[in-house]
Amino acid sequence: MKYYLSDIIPKLQSFSRQLDELTLIQNHHWVAFDSSTDTKTTYIFRDNKDLLISQSGNVKKSNWDYLGNQTILIENSEESLLFRNSFFDETILVLNLHNTDTYAFFLNETKIGNSFKTIEKLNEYLNKKYSVDSRTNKVFNSFTNLEYKEGLPENKFDIFFGSYTQILITFSNDQYGYIMQGKSTGKYFYLHSLKGRTYAKSKEDCIYQLYLHQNGQV
């Protein structure tokens, strides 16, 4: 399984299906995107929690499990990997490896095939399909004209999040919300009403994503 960086995936969250729609995942042939080889690796998520991984006629059996909160566990005798749903529609499944900024891409073979050879072409397809850049730029222009102020950082602890810092963000249009920064990871995140903890690339990006969420954009 190969992992890639992608700036476009965080912008697609508002278009994503929920990972708990398991019938859309199970028993389909998902081809793992890998720009470094022409060898096709197919993942089949069976409804009995078996995960069949086929490559050049050789099949390995692993296990998978949906853990709720948009997370999925994939494990075999060598390793256990925790992923979070980053984007999912009938053609593409994008999983974020836990506590990283990298993604694994899977293409539904019957819906979209396996014609993409570079991550740039795959990003281009998603951008064109969902008009991401034009939508984001429109909202970003309104955001740049909006002022906000930060409250004093507060130290917090949660059994799920661990130790983190919480900051109240108050926008000049009277909307407000909280951004958080993990003590151990240093990463910023906010709590999405549907998707839970949602990470951002930076503090400023987290405030921006919070603003988009407040206005129903993500």
* Residue range(s) defining the domain that contains residue 209: 142-214
Domain boundary (131, 156, 180) is at: 131
Q: Do residue 99 and residue 24 come from a single domain?
A: yes
DSSP class of 8: S
Q: Which of 28, 31, 47 is nearest to 39 (CA)?
A: 31
Which structure tokens are listed for 48? 């009995």
Q: Do residue 20 and residue 120 come from a single domain?
A: yes
Q: Do residue 74 and residue 125 come from a single domain?
A: yes
pLDDT at res. 169 = 92
Mean pLDDT across the chain: 86
Question: What per-residue string of b and e applies to 177-195 under the rule 16 or more CB within 10 Å gives b?
Answer: bebbbbeeeebbbbebeeb
pLDDT at res. 147 = 77
Pick the residue with more confidence: 43 or 12?
43
Pick the residue with more confidence: 148 or 66?
66
pLDDT at res. 8 = 84
Q: Do residue 53 and residue 159 come from a single domain?
A: no
Q: Do residue 95 and residue 126 come from a single domain?
A: yes
Pick the residue with more confidence: 83 or 174?
83
For helices 132-144 and 203-214, angle between their N-to-C axes, nearest 10 degrees: 100
Range in 8-12, 21-25, 54-58 the model is least confident about: 8-12
Q: Do residue 49 and residue 18 come from a single domain?
A: yes
pLDDT at res. 123 = 85
- Render pLDDT for 90-144 as a digit per residue (tens, 0 to 9): 899 999 998 888 999 999 988 887 778 888 888 888 888 877 655 554 455 555 5
Q: Do residue 13 and residue 102 come from a single domain?
A: yes
Q: Do residue 174 and residue 201 come from a single domain?
A: yes
Angle, alpha carbons 180-181-185 (nearest 5°):
145
Give the C-alpha separation, 113 to 159, whole Å. 42
- Render pLDDT for 167-201 as a digit per residue (tens, 0 to 9): 999 987 788 999 999 998 889 999 988 888 888 88
Q: Do residue 180 and residue 84 come from a single domain?
A: no
CATH code, domain with 57: 2.40.128
Domain boundary (131, 154, 179) is at: 131
Q: What percent of the chain has pLDDT over 90?
A: 36
Residue matched to tokens 């249009």: 173
Q: Do residue 158 and residue 58 come from a single domain?
A: no
- Residue 155's beta-bridge partner residues? 165
Range in 35-44, 54-63, 106-115 the model is least confident about: 106-115
Q: Do residue 121 and residue 86 come from a single domain?
A: yes
Q: Does residue 136 sit within a domain? A: no
pTM: 0.62
Q: Do residue 91 and residue 192 come from a single domain?
A: no
- Residue 61's beta-bridge partner residues? 52
